[in-house]
Amino acid sequence: MALKKRYLEHLNRMRRMMAIYGLGPSDVTNMLGDNETRNALGRCITCDSVCPCEAYLADGENADAPVFCPNLQLIEALAAQLDGDPRQARSESADLSAWHSIDRRGVRFGASA
């Protein structure tokens, strides 16, 4: 159960980080596809910068870029692409299987996305 909880906590942090940049899971999946989305999730899950990440996400102001984040360049590029191309729909119809790859019943997060 500890591994599952750790996985879900990283997943939640990644969703929260993307939200700061105006991205949702469907935006990432639509633009990257499942395989690259899984790669990004894998980078987050294996990241050791949990404390700096939590502090950054809790700050609310986010004046500086989170240079510790292994997905920073990817998130910034996707946000710029989405902002620069109004044809990119923010659709919930994307295949989100990369985001739903494990059962989350009974797991609660400390902060909402």
The pLDDT tens digits for 55-108 are 999 987 777 889 999 999 999 999 998 876 543 444 444 455 555 554 444 443
In whole angstroms, give the CA distance from residue 17 to residue 66.
Answer: 9
- pLDDT at position 99 is 56
CB 76 within 8 A of CB 28: no
pLDDT band at 1 (very low <50, low <70, confident <90, very high): low
Q: Please state the pTM of the whole predicted model.
A: 0.71
Could you tell me the two tokens for 21?
């940049």
In whole angstroms, give the CA distance from residue 69 to residue 14.
Answer: 10
Half-sphere exposure for 105 (CA within 13 Å, toward CB): 1
